[in-house]
Structure 1
């Protein structure tokens, strides 16, 4: 007897399960990551019941996970002619998915930290903090602001250019040393 999860090929099942494990390491619920992986591999819109059946998870868990993926801008709702159910799909372009993840994580995690550091440094009480603590906060703000600006620049690059840049790796370090 085959179970719904058996409708995935062994390779696809392995990818979906691994993506779920990775999701939990990234701070995302395992089912959320597995649903995203399933939609990515399927390359077509799927409704919640189908997702629940294939992954053998509760329908309520699928609904909650789909809401989270929608809030993260990783999936969108689509409607199919003749079917009143909501269907969900994710982008097929791995580079656009990468950009979405980076943008969303930056907005939710990085930018608030930069904002709090700016507020701390601007607070009149900041002058009362020990000099070494003030220096560390300022250095952290400078670093995070520079990383934020660099990240924005990287997100604007075309995928081919970004791939070339990533492949340069240690060659950039050598180039910078030669021009220093």
Structure 2
């Protein structure tokens, strides 16, 4: 049986996502989040943020237990892409709002993707953690847009607290998505 790993799964997953009826506006590769604490494999920007984490045959599926708190706090939706080898454990480890997609190898070296479970909106999203994806200048821009005053010497922590207290989670996610779309990022695929 063919083993599937990130290197085989990732490019075909990106093609699959771009071929869906509702395509992402942008797909980003390994953007650092939570002040460097985590780096999801793929972030897809729709009208909301969607994190895709890949766990191939040779990956330690248990690692998702350490990563999921960062992903849940930062993105409106989360999906694990894995193989049949890890499916049972993934269903045990992940909350019900996480999507799980199984990557299935075909004889011609292509992969098909089948939903084991579709993602739903994440109840663990946190405005303060999601705001950490923003650069300081982007945080200031959001606060100016909302007519929230801040000191020019305010730290990122100060700005995050202002955003948290003055914005809804949908406003934060929308602003994060728009900021990522407007950046000139080398991780864009």
The normalised TM-score by structure 1 is 0.33
**TM-score, normalised via structure 2 length:** 0.32
Instruction: Flag the structure with higher helix content.
Output: 1
